[in-house]
Amino acid sequence: MNINGSEKLASLKNKKVEKILDEYITLLKPASVTILNDSEKDQEYIKQLAVKNNEEKPLKMEGHTIHYDSPKDQGRDLVNTRVLVKPGVQLGKAIKTTDREEGLKEVFEIMDGIMEGKEMLVKFYCLGPHNSKFSLPAMQITDSAYVLHSEDILYRQGFDMFKELDDFFLFVHSAGKLENGVCVDIDKRRVYMDLDEERVFTVNNQYAGNSVGLKKLALRLAISKANKEDWLCEHMFLMGAKRKGRITYFTGAFPSACGKTSTAMIPGQSIIGDDIAYIRPDEEGYARGVNVEQGIFGIIADVNPKDDPLIYKTLTSPREIIFSNVLVQEDIPYWLNMGKDLPSEGTNFIGKWKKGMTVDGKEVLAAHKNARFCLRISELENVDENLHNPEGVRIRGFIYGGRDSDTNPPLLQSLSWAHGVYIGASVESETTAAALGKEGVRKHNPMSNVEFLVVPLGVYIENHLKFGEGLDVPPLIFSTNYFLKEDGEFLNAKTDKKVWLMWMEGRVHEEFGALETPIGFIPKYEDLKKLFEMVFSKAYTKNNYEEQFSIKTGKLLERLDRIEEIYKVEEDIPQMFHDHLEQQRERLKDAQKKLGDVISPFKFE
Quote the distance between the C-alpha of residue 171 and its chain's center: 19
**CA atoms of 444 and 31, how far apart (whole Å):** 47
Counts of helices then strands in the chain (DSSP H, E): 17, 40
What 3 state SS string does 504-545 have?
Answer: HHHHHCCCCCCEEECCEEECCHHHHHHHHHHHHCCCCCHHHH
Q: Are strands 64-67 and 321-324 parallel, antiparallel or unpaired?
A: parallel
**CA atoms of 520 and 508, how far apart (whole Å):** 15
Active site residue 258: yes
> At what angle are helices 218-229 and 457-469 packed, to 10 degrees?
60
**CA atoms of 423 and 584, how far apart (whole Å):** 11
**CA atoms of 557 and 597, how far apart (whole Å):** 10
| Catalytic option among 126, 183, 233, 258 | 258
DSSP letter at 471 equals -
**CA atoms of 215 and 151, how far apart (whole Å):** 9
Amino acid at 163: K
Amino acid at 225: K
Bridge partners, 191 (sequence order): 81, 202
**CA atoms of 150 and 218, how far apart (whole Å):** 15
Q: Report the alpha-carbon angle 105-108-112, nearest 5.
A: 140
Q: Are strands 489-490 and 485-486 parallel, antiparallel or unpaired?
A: antiparallel
Contacts of 162 (CB under 8 A, 6+ apart): 12, 14, 17, 124, 137, 139, 168
Query: How many residues make up the chain in this entry?
Result: 605
**CA atoms of 143 and 76, how far apart (whole Å):** 20
Is-contact 414 478, C-beta < 8 A?
yes
**CA atoms of 108 and 114, how far apart (whole Å):** 10
Burial class from Cβ neighbours inside 10 Å (0-12, 13-18, 19+) for residue 238 reads: buried
Contacts of 403 (CB under 8 A, 6+ apart): 255, 257, 258, 259, 428, 429, 430, 481, 482, 483
CA contacts within 13 A on the Cβ side of 282: 17
**CA atoms of 583 and 577, how far apart (whole Å):** 10
Burial 12-27 (b: 16+ CB within 10 A, else e): bebebbeebbeebbee
Residues annotated catalytic, as ranges: 258
